[in-house]
Amino acid sequence: MITIYVPRDTTACALGADAVADAISAQAAQRDISLQIIRTGSRGLFWLETLVEVATDQGRRAFGPVEASDVGALFDAGFYEGKGDKLALGLSEEIPYLKNQQRLNFARAGIVDPLSIDDYKSQGGYAGLSRALAMQPQAIVDEVKESGLRGRGGAAFPAGIKWQTVLDTPAAQKYIVCNADEGDSGTFADRLLMEADPYQLIEGMTIAGLGTGATQGYIYLRSEYPKAFSVLKTALANAYAAGYLGSNVAGSGKHFDLEVRLGAGAYICGEETSLLDSLEGKRGMVRAKPPLPAIVGLFGQPTVINNVLTLATISSIFEKGAAHYKSLGVGRSIGTLPMQLAGNIKRGGIVELAFGSTLRSLLEDFGAGTASGKPIKAVQVGGPLGAYLPASALDISLDYESFAAASAMLGHGGVVVFDDSVDMLEQARFAMEFCVVESCGKCTPCRVGSTRGVEVLDKIRAGEQRDDNLILLEELCETMEYGSLCAMGGLTPFPVRSAIKHFPEEFGG
Partner 1 sequence: MLQYYEPEKDYGTPPSLSTETVTLNIDGVDIDVPEGTSVMRAAAEAGIKVPKLCATDSLEVFGSCRMCMVEIEGRKGYPASCTTPAENGMVVNTQTDKVAKLRRNVMELYISDHPLDCLTCPTNGNCELQDTAGEVGLRDVRYGYAGNNHLDAEKDESNPYFTFDPSKCIVCSRCVRACEETQGTFALTIDGRGFESKVSPGQNEDFMDSECVSCGACVAACPTATLTENTIIKLGQPEHSVITTCAYCGVGCAFKAEMRGNTVVNMTPWKDGKANEGHACVKGRFAFGYATHQDRITSPMVRDNIEDEWREVSWDEAFAFAAKRLRGIQEKYGNNSIGAISSSRCTNEEVWLVQKLVRAGFGNNNIDTCARVCHSPTGYGLKTTLGESAGTQSFASVAQTDVVMVMGSNPTDAHPVFASRLKRRLREGAKLIVVDPRKIELVAAPHVKADHHLQVRPGTNVAFINAMAHVIIDEGLEAKDFIAERCETPAFEQWRAFISDAKHSPEATESITGIAAADIRSAARLFATGGNAAIYYGLGVTEHSQGSTTVMGVANLAMLTGNIGREGVGVNPMRGQNNVQGSCDMGSFPHELPGYRHISDASTRALFENDWNVSLDPEPGLRIPNMFDAAIDGEFKGLYCHGEDIAQSDPNTHHVEAALSSLECLVVQDLFLNETAKFAHVFLPGSSFLEKDGTFTNAERRISPVRQAMPPKAGLADWEATMGLAKALGVDMHYDHPSEIMDEIARLTPTFTNVSFDKLDAAGSIQWPCNEETPDGTPTMHINEFVRGKGFFAVTEYVPTDERANRKFPLLLTTGRILSQYNVGAQTRRTENNQWHSEDILELHPHDAEERGIKDGDWAGIKSRVGDTVLRAKVSENIQPGVVYTTFHFPESGANVITTDNSDWATNCPEYKVTAVEISKVTAPSAWQERQQAFNEQQQGLLKKARKHETTSPAG
Stated as kind and residue range, the H or E segment containing 91 is strand 88-91
Query: Binders of partner 1 among 222-241, rule CB under 8 A?
Result: none
CA angle 40, 149, 93 (to 5 degrees): 35
Q: Provide the minimum distance between the beta carbon of 273 and partner 1 in the complex, in angstroms, as a whole number.
A: 11
CA distance 496 to 503: 11
Q: Which of 484, 493, 496, 497 binds ligand SF4 (CB under 6 A)?
A: 484
Chosen from ligand FMN, ligand SF4, partner 1, none, partner binding at 256 (C-beta under 5 to 8 Å by type): none
Backbone dihedral angles phi then psi of residue 306, each to the nearest 5 degrees:
-135, 155
Question: How many chain residues touch ligand FMN (CB under 6 A)?
Answer: 22
Q: Which of 65, 148, 151, 445 binds ligand FMN (CB under 6 A)?
A: 151
Where are the alpha helices (H) located in 321-448, listed in sequence order? 322-326, 359-360, 400-405, 424-438, 444-447
Q: Provide the minimum distance between the beta carbon of 187 and ligand FMN in the complex, in angstroms, as a whole number.
A: 8
Q: Is 305 in the site for ligand FMN (CB under 6 A)?
A: yes
Q: Is 23 in the site for ligand SF4 (CB under 6 A)?
A: no
Q: Which is nearer to partner 1, 210 or 470 (CB)?
A: 470
Chosen from partner 1, ligand FMN, ligand SF4, none, partner binding at 475 (C-beta under 5 to 8 Å by type): partner 1
Q: Which is nearer to partner 1, 349 or 445 (CB)?
A: 445
Task: List all residues 6 or more positions away from 95 whose beta carbon is below 8 Å from its beta carbon.
Answer: 45, 48, 62, 89
Stretch that binds partner 1, among 29-37, 68-76, 241-249, 482-490 (CB under 8 A): 482-490
Chosen from ligand SF4, partner 1, ligand FMN, none, partner binding at 456 (C-beta under 5 to 8 Å by type): partner 1
Question: How many Å from the N-terminal Cα to the C-terminal Cα in the chain?
Answer: 68
Query: Binders of ligand FMN among 36-95, rule CB under 6 A?
Result: none
Query: Binders of partner 1 among 410-449, rule CB under 8 A?
Result: 435-449
361 contacts 476 by C-beta, under 8 angstroms: no
Q: Is 477 in the site for ligand SF4 (CB under 6 A)?
A: no
Query: Binders of ligand SF4 among 445-474, rule CB under 6 A?
Result: 446-447
Q: Is the peptide bond before 187 cis (omega within 30 degrees of 0)?
A: no
Candidates 80, 102, 86; CA nearest to 6 is: 80
Q: Provide the minimum distance between the beta carbon of 501 and ligand SF4 in the complex, in angstroms, as a whole number.
A: 22
> How many Å separate Cα 402 from the centre of its chain?
20
Q: Which is nearer to partner 1, 96 or 290 (CB)?
A: 290
The 10 Å Cβ neighbour count of residue 481 is 17
Stretch that binds ligand FMN, among 80-88, 124-132, 193-201, 302-310 (CB under 6 A): 302-310
Q: Which of 214, 486, 496, 500 binds ligand SF4 (CB under 6 A)?
A: 486
Stretch that binds ligand SF4, among 148-156, 300-308, 386-394, 485-493 (CB under 6 A): 485-493
Task: List all residues 6 or more positions away from 485 whose beta carbon is below 8 Å from its beta carbon.
Answer: 286, 288, 442, 443, 446
CA distance 228 to 233: 8
303 contacts 177 by C-beta, under 8 angstroms: yes
> How many Å separate Cα 499 from the centre of its chain?
25
User: Which parts of 263-387 are beta strand (E)?
Assistant: 303-307, 329-330, 333-334, 336-343, 349-354, 376-381
CA distance 122 to 419: 44
Q: Provide the minimum distance between the beta carbon of 221 and partner 1 in the complex, in angstroms, as a whole number.
A: 21
Query: Binders of ligand SF4 among 238-297, rule CB under 6 A?
Result: 268, 286
Q: Is 489 in the site for ligand SF4 (CB under 6 A)?
A: yes
Q: Is 435 in the site for ligand FMN (CB under 6 A)?
A: no
Q: Is 440 in the site for ligand SF4 (CB under 6 A)?
A: yes
Stretch that binds ligand FMN, among 152-160, 398-406, 424-432, 494-502 (CB under 6 A): 152-160
**Rounded alpha-carbon distances, angstroms, from residue 246 to 217, 229, 254, 386:** 11, 20, 8, 40
276 contacts 297 by C-beta, under 8 angstroms: yes
Chosen from ligand SF4, ligand FMN, partner 1, none, partner binding at 305 (C-beta under 5 to 8 Å by type): ligand FMN
CA distance 336 to 355: 6
Chosen from ligand SF4, partner 1, ligand FMN, none, partner binding at 307 (C-beta under 5 to 8 Å by type): ligand FMN
Q: Is 445 in the site for ligand FMN (CB under 6 A)?
A: no
Q: Which of 203, 271, 352, 506 binds ligand FMN (CB under 6 A)?
A: 271
Q: Which of 14, 288, 404, 462 binds partner 1 (CB under 8 A)?
A: 288
Backbone dihedral angles phi then psi of residue 414, each to the nearest 5 degrees:
-80, 135
CA distance 411 to 403: 10
Q: Which is nearer to ligand SF4, 307 or 450 (CB)?
A: 450
272 contacts 154 by C-beta, under 8 angstroms: no
Q: Provide the minimum distance between the beta carbon of 263 and ligand FMN in the complex, in angstroms, as a whole number.
A: 9
CA distance 215 to 209: 6
Binding positions for ligand FMN, rule: CB under 6 A: 151-155, 157, 179, 181-183, 267-268, 270-272, 305-307, 310, 486-488
Binding positions for ligand SF4, rule: CB under 6 A: 268, 286, 439-443, 446-447, 484-486, 488-489
Binding positions for partner 1, rule: CB under 8 A: 266, 268, 283, 285, 288-290, 435-452, 455-456, 468, 472, 475-476, 478-479, 482-485
